[in-house]
Amino acid sequence: MDAISVIRTKRDRGELTPEQIDWVIDAYTRGEVADEQMSALAMAILLNGMNRTEIARWTAAMIASGERMNFDTLSRPTTDKHSTGGVGDKITLPLAPLVAACGAAVPQLSGRGLGHTGGTLDKLESIPGWRAHLSNEEMLNVLDTTGAVICAAGDGLAPADKKLYALRDVTGTVEAIPLIASSIMSKKIAEGTGALVLDVKVGSGAFMKTIEDARELASTMVALGTDSGVRTVALLTDMSTPLGLTAGNALEVRESVEVLAGGGPQDVVDLTLALAREMLDAAGLKDADPEKALSDGSAMDVWRRMISAQGGDPDATLPTAREQHVVTAPASGVLTRLDAYDVGVAAWRLGAGRARKEDPVQAGAGVELHAKPGDTVTEGQPLMTLHTDTPEKFDYALKALPDAYDIAPAGTSFAPLPVVRERIA
């Protein structure tokens, strides 16, 4: 077996054999296949695709590159959620403790932000003392004692994916649906959860811009999970507008705590509850009431225990940026569009995100929204506030925003897209 023959097979629109897939994943993980060779193969996959058999084998090979976790010792059923990433997508923060408060165990392995999309670990690291990196033993202990854990995946979990993910990010192959699906599902299957709900974003702020692409990705991942014995369902959710009223690390933690306290923006609450119901149903807890767990404070109690168990102080003052800049409405009327991608780019440029994995992020940086599509605004009214520790970043961030919103004449009718657009099972 050699890398060139594998590349040529997919370049010429052939079907990779199970032996070719097993070999190339193993050889790349060991360093026998060079980055430039895997880059060529990834581009061939982007351009020519993979069938279901190839994707399933590719995913299995990624899983086989590392360890598999096991939660059989837990007394609760396990259920997890994965989001494909968006702007203002802080849903994991209130969702994990909420589902745990309803009787499930939630082993949430999360990642960091890159580019315009935010990362759950970056958000939680704005809480003083909180630790993302836990050993498998520590993770199991937090899960057993609190019902939920949010942490980074260990180095032993699907190491082939970790290496390939970094390569895809710098070679223009992130959007390859077979590679996205196998990347997500190899980690989730290796994680060992019994049920999985996929939040597949669609819209300008998502990797999947069209409903057709989002549907294809969701269907592929649901099939992979089902074939591996994991109860899997997907929701296609809107990412044309940022979720909630904040995009940025500490800003989103504050908003998440508001949701756990029984408040928060309605779209964040609605999506949190929709995903919670799916997770609980998949875990066999159909009679649980997540809405009650939000209102009676039990979800907040789990949040506080979970943060404390990972070294964080749930009562600590969260970081705030040293500088702010207010963007005002240029005219009066109805805000009919607020582009998620443009807002995400502005937050990223302010310091909330990173261009490379090794770049630091500012805990207090980001964008705070004062209006959402459908709201009536007046000329001069604040539309958003930009936050950063480095005011020289304002000009660069503002360049992302001139075309980020539309204001129509007063009285213009507006029908927002639903937060949940489709369900695929």
Residue 254 sits in a domain whose CATH number is: 3.40.1030.10
Q: Are residues 284 and 355 in the same domain?
A: no
Q: Are residues 114 and 202 in the same domain?
A: yes
Which residue in the list 81, 90, 123, 168 is annotated as catalytic? Answer: 168
pLDDT in tens, 26-81: 999 999 999 999 999 999 999 999 999 999 999 999 999 999 998 989 999 999 99
Q: Are residues 171 and 271 in the same domain?
A: yes
Residues 169, 357: Cα–Cα separation, whole Å = 10
Q: Are residues 305 and 330 in the same domain?
A: no
Show the tokens assigned to 144.
Answer: 């057993």
Q: What is the mean pLDDT of the chain?
A: 95
Residues 70, 314: Cα–Cα separation, whole Å = 29
Q: Are residues 100 and 205 in the same domain?
A: yes
Q: Are residues 31 and 145 in the same domain?
A: no
Does 203 reside within a domain? yes
Mean pLDDT of all residues in 284-313 = 97
Residues 217, 199: Cα–Cα separation, whole Å = 11
pLDDT confidence of residue 242: 98
**168 catalytic residue (yes or no):** yes
Tell whether the model's pLDDT for residue 357 goes beyond 70. no
**52 catalytic residue (yes or no):** no
pLDDT confidence of residue 14: 98
pLDDT confidence of residue 354: 83
The CATH code of the domain that includes 391 is: 3.90.1170.30
Total count of domains within the chain: 3
The CATH code of the domain that includes 32 is: 1.20.970.10
Does 96 reside within a domain? yes
Does 130 reside within a domain? yes
pLDDT confidence of residue 408: 97
Q: Are 56 and 214 in contact (CB under 8 A)?
A: no
Tell whether the model's pLDDT for residue 390 goes beyond 90. yes
What percent of the chain is modeled with pLDDT above 90?
89
Does 268 reside within a domain? yes
Q: Are residues 330 and 370 in the same domain?
A: yes
Tell whether the model's pLDDT for residue 382 goes beyond 90. yes
Q: Are residues 195 and 236 in the same domain?
A: yes
- Give the confidence band of 217 by pLDDT, cuts at 50, 70, 90: very high
Q: Are 276 and 99 in contact (CB under 8 A)?
A: yes
In the block, tokens 């854990």 appear at: 149
pLDDT confidence of residue 162: 87
pLDDT in tens, 70-116: 898 999 999 999 999 999 999 999 999 999 999 999 999 998 887 78
Q: Are residues 93 and 38 in the same domain?
A: no
Which residue in the list 183, 186, 240, 256 is annotated as catalytic? Answer: 183
**pTM higher than 0.85, yes or no?**
yes
Show the tokens assigned to 105.
Answer: 């165990």
Q: Are residues 197 and 292 in the same domain?
A: yes
3-state SS record for 156-181: CCCHHHHHHHHHHHCCCCCCCHHHHH
**423 catalytic residue (yes or no):** no
pLDDT in tens, 260-293: 999 999 999 999 999 999 999 999 999 999 999 9
Does 425 reside within a domain? no
Phi and psi torsions of 150, nearest 5°? -120, 115
Question: Could you tell me the residue range of the domain that residue 392 belongs to?
Answer: 323-408
pLDDT confidence of residue 356: 72
Residues 158, 191: Cα–Cα separation, whole Å = 9
Which residue in the list 10, 57, 81, 82 is annotated as catalytic? Answer: 82
pLDDT in tens, 155-203: 888 999 989 988 887 888 988 999 999 999 999 999 999 999 999 999 9
Which residue in the list 116, 123, 187, 393 is annotated as catalytic? Answer: 187
Instruction: Report the 10 Å Cβ neighbour count for 329.
Output: 19
Q: How far is CA 318 from CA 253, 259, 264, 393, in A?
A: 8, 16, 17, 22
Per the DSSP assignment, residues forming a β-bridge with 237 are 201, 420
Which residue in the list 80, 89, 122, 161 is annotated as catalytic? Answer: 161
Tell whether the model's pLDDT for residue 359 goes beyond 90. no
Q: Are 330 and 373 in contact (CB under 8 A)?
A: no
